[in-house]
Chains A and B, each alone.
Chain A
Amino acid sequence: DAKTTQPTSMDCAEGRAANLPCNHSTISGNEYVYWYRQIHSQGPQYIIHGLKNNETNEMASLIITEDRKSSTLILPHATLRDTAVYYCIRGGGATNKLIFGTGTLLAVQP
């Protein structure tokens, strides 16, 4: 089972940083950590991914612990449009397939 563990829901004030945790304690050495989000009923959207090092792009930052058993997605200045379900997924490999869990519903409050 390639699932991860995330809180069911979180709140964040608009303009503040949103920190979404994820536990992947059984991740193997060649598995990446991927983050996607799904706004309302749209198709999921890729956010960021990483293996060992911390990563940053125009949308978010990804902090991976040294033992790789957990990670945190950071949205530096959350807006109302960031309200969505955020999925943390471990995977990759030759088939490139991803197994989604139930994710974290992030509610950004005005």
Chain B
Amino acid sequence: NAGVTQTPKFRVLKTGQSMTLLCAQDMNHEYMYWYRQDPGMGLRLIHYSVGEGTTAKGEVPDGYNVSRLKKQNFLLGLESAAPSQTSVYFCASSKERPRYTFGSGTRLTVV
């Protein structure tokens, strides 16, 4: 019973590099979300999905792309990383009502 698993937990990227963050949930949840959290701030919604094959933009989608090819996985991509994308990234999922289950986060540093 893993819940929401985020991979990797830590990563350092050089400016211009690309990477994909993986979020996997084993609770058969329909809804999945990607947030970022900068120091001293609350969480900001990047992209979300209301079901397999669907994605939608959140508050701060620029510079990110997402895919939900399988119900249990939600991928967040950075095509060309920038220092402004240094942040902690949280994935969450929910089945009904926004009773989210969050992952433990991915700490990304872009140098």
A interface residue numbers (CB < 8 A to B): 32, 34, 36, 41-46, 49, 87, 89, 91-92, 94-103
Min CB gap A74→B, angstroms:
19
Min CB gap A78→B, angstroms:
22
Interface size class of B (residues with CB under 8 A): 20 to 34
Tally of A-B residue pairs with Cβ under 8 A?
62
Given contacts A94-B50, A95-B50, A97-B48, contact A43 B42 (CB under 8 A): no
- Interface residues of A, dominant DSSP: loop
Instruction: Name which of B61-69, B74-82, B96-104 contacts chain A.
Output: B96-104
Complex formed: what's the CA distance from A34 to B56 in Å? 22
Q: Is there contact, CB below 8 Å, between B104 and A42?
A: yes
B43 at the interface (CB under 8 A from A): yes
Complex formed: what's the CA distance from A72 to B87 in Å? 31
Q: Is there contact, CB below 8 Å, between A102 and B41?
A: yes
Given A41-B105, A43-B90, A94-B50, output 15 extra A-B contacts at Cβ < 8 Å.
A32-B98, A43-B92, A43-B102, A44-B92, A44-B100, A49-B99, A87-B42, A92-B98, A95-B56, A96-B97, A99-B45, A100-B35, A100-B43, A100-B44, A101-B42
